[in-house]
Amino acid sequence: MNKKDLRVIDAHCDTLYELDVQKTSLYTNDLHVSLERLLEYGGYVQVFATWVDDTPENPMQRCMHLIDVFYDELRQNEKHLQLVLSAKDLRDSLYSGKVGALLSVENGRVLEHSIHNLYALYARGVRAMTLTWNGINEIACGASCQEDTGLSAFGREVVQEMNRLGMLVDVSHLSIKSFWDVIAQSTLPVMASHSNAYSVAMHERNLSDRQIQAMIQTNGFIGLTIYPLFLAGCKQASMRDFFKHCDYMLAMGAENNIGLGSDFDGISVLPEGMTSACDYECLCYKMKEHGYTETLIKKITHENFLRYADQVLKG
């Protein structure tokens, strides 16, 4: 299995935040994600999150700044980086010789309770949004909320408008009630961009069996993260732990629903055997050794995300 034969879609990274903090370049850096690493693959699409935590006084301003960071990189790397705005862009970018980039927002708090801010983000190329981070915002409750009040009236409007625009609704980080409210509200499939199975590792950010079943039944997408805390419940994990989550969800019938959602550059430690995005090649070898067929490996690495996005993204 040659790297140039591999096509990968990763549903979540926090690289834009680190680029801004470290004042470094996307093309070459010491982060988990760099263009020079991603260009080694036959095709690669990265969902780049603009992460805003639960504390800034001007979250929309902070988000727009990170979007500016992205567009600065896009201008500097126009030969190597391609913005993904539609389902067609997504497919084309896997065969273009460039790295595809789909812009996401992590934490709907950036909307500042204004639906017009959602339209402004869409106009700037954002095509996905994680509705909360860990705390509560005007849309919904995050996984760490003490009182789970679920999706708000404004949150229902946001989900409705995201459906209409053709934006990917991301339920990673949501509280339990908020998750079920979104499932009931959304007329299109949703994704959990970076979440694993709670029954394998009991962390509040992972999905219960019922939640996984709902994602399968509604044709959603689950991006498995490689964060050791979500893999094994502690700071040390290996690829064996990753396969425990894969195998568990596959046994539940998620062959067409699971993929990759690393959380690169948003996590301080990686599982044993992984140092950066360049190691997805190694992961694919291990999938083969684990007994996964070529068909299944392609589904996990990129085809399931393509199938999911085809249902939601326009164009």
pLDDT digits (tens, 9 = 90+) for 179-213: 999 999 999 999 999 999 999 999 999 999 999 99
The position carrying tokens 């020079």 is 36
Determine the average pLDDT of the residues in 291-304.
98
Can you give the pLDDT at residue 58? 97
Can you give the pLDDT at residue 56? 84
Can you give the pLDDT at residue 249? 99
- Mean pLDDT score of the chain, rounded to an integer? 97
Can you give the pLDDT at residue 243? 98
Structure tokens at 8: 């990968």
Can you give the pLDDT at residue 194? 98
Letter for the amino acid at 71?
A: Y
Q: Assess whether pLDDT exceeds 80 at residue 25.
A: yes
Contact by Cβ (8 Å): 64, 106 = no
Q: Assess whether pLDDT exceeds 80 at residue 1.
A: no
Q: Sort strands 43-51 and 81-83 into parallel, antiparallel or unpaired.
A: unpaired
Determine the average pLDDT of the residues in 121-134.
98
Residue 31 φ then ψ, to 5°: -85, 180
Contact by Cβ (8 Å): 110, 154 = no
Can you give the pLDDT at residue 213? 98
**DSSP-derived secondary structure letter, 230:** H
Determine the average pLDDT of the residues in 236-257.
98
pTM over 0.75: yes
- Band the pLDDT of 226: cuts 50, 70, 90: very high
Cross-strand partners of 170: 130, 191
